Amino acid sequence: MWRSLVWGKEVLQMGMRWRVGDGTQIRLKVDKWIPQPHTFRVISHNAIPENATVADLILPSRAWNVELIRRLFFDQARNRREDAASGSSVGNNSLSHQGWKRLWGLNLPNKIKVSLWRACRGFIPCADALFKRHVGVEGRCQGCKGGAESVVHALWDCKRVKKVWKLTFLHDVCTVWRERDFFYLFNHVAQVAHQNELEWFEILSWFIWHDRNKRVYGATVFDAKNLLERASCWWEGFLNAKGMVGCHDGSRQGLSDLREASLIRIWRKPTNGFVKLNVDGALDIHRGIYGTGAVVRDERGSCVGVLATPGTGALSPLTCEALALVNGLHFCVQAGFKYVVIEGDSLAVINALNGSEEDLSMEGGLIDEAKFLMSFFISCSWDFVPRVCNQAAHCVARRALSLPYPTFWWLMVPDWLSTIIDVEASS
């Protein structure tokens, strides 16, 4: 129910009278009216008529029709999850219809779109299909020597291929998704992904298939990061040719923007002469304590300083994140760093740094303090990163929960952090 509360609050902030009002102006399935990531729209449901409006969810007493909302959205979502989990066949035509529409509408060369369409239809010559038609000698995957190489195995499930997907926006999906049908996977992505994410999904599928063919017909070593680099270079070239990179206005859709927009999820070293500060907060609500973590690394990815700060109090997640930033900045100011790049996984905090208005809330005070501390640097920039790029700080914040007092490590890495630092330094 928290979501409906949040959404009620948003609606109030935006002006309930005209925004939702009686709801007759907002089309339930088409308009962006839900504060939900990715689509901001209701994902297509058969049970909802095309011309339904938000008004249909409001009772004559002007309260939400909670019973109807639950039936329409939550139950349907659960059914869909159960369908997916049971691996039932793709029977929902409206889903596939939406998927195709998105596929053909993408800003990609036809060869890639056709290739993905073929994969969805099971028309690509993977080993299992050839074996079943008595063309191939073996149906097993040559990449992992594991099970049968179906389409979904070749493009998604093979453990080598998973290494690629784990570094993308599908990071969360790929650890849980066990789908026997590639078409189902595609439909899922088509429903939740932004346009550039869906394009990235298709480009990577295409590169994965081509690399797989190179492996079968000649020997090349599979390298997930190398594949990502080649795919993103190709994409940059494609966008360049289309004149979509290099504009100076805010509408530019350059690859670097797409990278920053979390399509590629790897911690990156700062540029020469800079240190990178990663910050994160952790809460233990039951014990009423919190922890903040800060990790400072140089251009080689080596750890310069680590700060873990425990504290007592029931902070809100946002306050805890803002406090983590302030603690990290204090650390950098005291250490005398002048060129600093800041990364955190709280979008609200990073956005607040961009704001110029005075904010009188508790976080507002912390944001003001952060801005003040940043004025000590000669150069300072900040960025939101997804959580997988912020693992080191996350780990330190968790550790802080079990420490009796603030602790820092200078020019050394505590044992429990060394694996993450080593992995990220080699990326």
Q: How far is the CB of 114 from Zn ion (least distance, A)?
A: 24
- Contact (CB, 8 A) for 43 and 69: no
Task: Report the Cα 368 to chain-centroid distance in Å.
Answer: 28
Q: Please, which residues have CB within 8 angstroms of residue 352's CB and are 6 or more apart in sequence?
A: 322, 359, 363, 364, 367
Looking at beta carbons only, is 49 or 146 nearer to Zn ion? 146
- Contact (CB, 8 A) for 389 and 423: no
Bridging pattern class, strands 407-410 and 289-297: unpaired
Q: How far is the CB of 88 from Zn ion (least distance, A)?
A: 24
What is the rounded distance in angstroms from the CA atom of residue 384 to the CA atom of residue 368?
A: 18
Looking at beta carbons only, is 158 or 421 nearer to Zn ion? 158
What is the rounded distance in angstroms from the CA atom of residue 69 to the CA atom of residue 395?
A: 39
Looking at beta carbons only, is 146 or 273 nearer to Zn ion? 146
What is the rounded distance in angstroms from the CA atom of residue 230 to the CA atom of residue 164?
A: 12
Q: How far is the CB of 180 from Zn ion (least distance, A)?
A: 15
Looking at beta carbons only, is 158 or 315 nearer to Zn ion? 158
Q: How far is the CB of 215 from Zn ion (least distance, A)?
A: 10
Task: Report the Cα 158 to chain-centroid distance in Å.
Answer: 21
Which residues form the interface with Zn ion (CB under 5 A)? 141, 143-144, 146, 158
Amino acid identity at 21 = G
- Give the residue from 138, 421, 70 showing the smallest Cα distance to 278: 421
Looking at beta carbons only, is 212 or 276 nearer to Zn ion? 212
- Contact (CB, 8 A) for 380 and 264: no
Structure tokens at 373: 């501390």
- Residues written for the chain: 427
Q: How far is the CB of 127 from Zn ion (least distance, A)?
A: 9
What is the rounded distance in angstroms from the CA atom of residue 148 to the CA atom of residue 73?
A: 37
User: What CA dihedral angle connects 248, 250, 254 and 257, to 10 degrees?
Assistant: 130
What is the rounded distance in angstroms from the CA atom of residue 323 to the CA atom of residue 361?
A: 13
Q: How far is the CB of 152 from Zn ion (least distance, A)?
A: 11
Looking at beta carbons only, is 154 or 350 nearer to Zn ion? 154
What is the rounded distance in angstroms from the CA atom of residue 423 to the CA atom of residue 100?
A: 39
Looking at beta carbons only, is 156 or 384 nearer to Zn ion? 156
Q: How far is the CB of 158 from Zn ion (least distance, A)?
A: 3
Q: Residue 4: which H helix or E strand, with range?
A: helix 2-14
Looking at beta carbons only, is 126 or 352 nearer to Zn ion? 126
Looking at beta carbons only, is 158 or 204 nearer to Zn ion? 158
Looking at beta carbons only, is 143 or 328 nearer to Zn ion? 143
Q: How far is the CB of 172 from Zn ion (least distance, A)?
A: 22
What is the rounded distance in angstroms from the CA atom of residue 398 to the CA atom of residue 292?
A: 8
Q: How far is the CB of 138 from Zn ion (least distance, A)?
A: 12
Phi/psi of residue 290, nearest 5 degrees: -140, 165
Q: How far is the CB of 330 from Zn ion (least distance, A)?
A: 49
Report the interhelical angle of 347-354 vs 317-335 (nearest 10°): 60
